[in-house]
Amino acid sequence: IKSTNKISFGTAPKGEEQGKDVRKVGEGIREIDGSTLDNYTKDLSSILMKARAVPARKPGSGEIYGWRLLEMEPGSIYERLGLQVMDVITGVNGSPVTSPQQAMEMYSALKSSSTIKIQVERGGRNENLEYRIKR
């Protein structure tokens, strides 16, 4: 589908154009304005409703090693950050994300950091996504 034909649910912050609020500046590196990030993250319940994630478990042991994104709303912060359906978020800034508590810590980090690195498993490979927040 051409990007001009995609349906938008109005999830970009007011005053921001779709596609310009998060800029890809290198392989696996994106830049986002701090005020734009604040607009996206100001309402936790809204963020949680824009995607569905389930614990990702290691075969055999059943140990949780991350959170698998099963669905995400088009235009949501998840999509804007370059995450994809079936990605497993395994870590943030080098720390594992294996519990809801750690996911909440990740959310807090988004609100105050100048750089955030998210480790994901995508298609059986580990990838690092880096976000530079301009404050």
What are 121's strand-pairing partners? 88, 126
Please tell me the pTM assigned to this model: 0.77
Q: Which pLDDT belongs to residue 13?
A: 38
| pLDDT tens string 35-67 | 888 887 788 788 888 999 999 999 999 999 999
Contact 117, 108 (CB under 8 A): no
Give every CB contact of residue 121 below 8 A, 6+ residues apart in sequence: 56, 66, 87, 88, 90, 127
Element (H, E) at 53: strand 51-57
Q: Kindly report the average pLDDT of the chain as a whole number.
A: 81
Element (H, E) at 110: helix 100-112
Q: Which pLDDT belongs to residue 35?
A: 84
Q: Which pLDDT belongs to residue 119?
A: 95
Average pLDDT rounded to a whole number, residues 131-135: 88
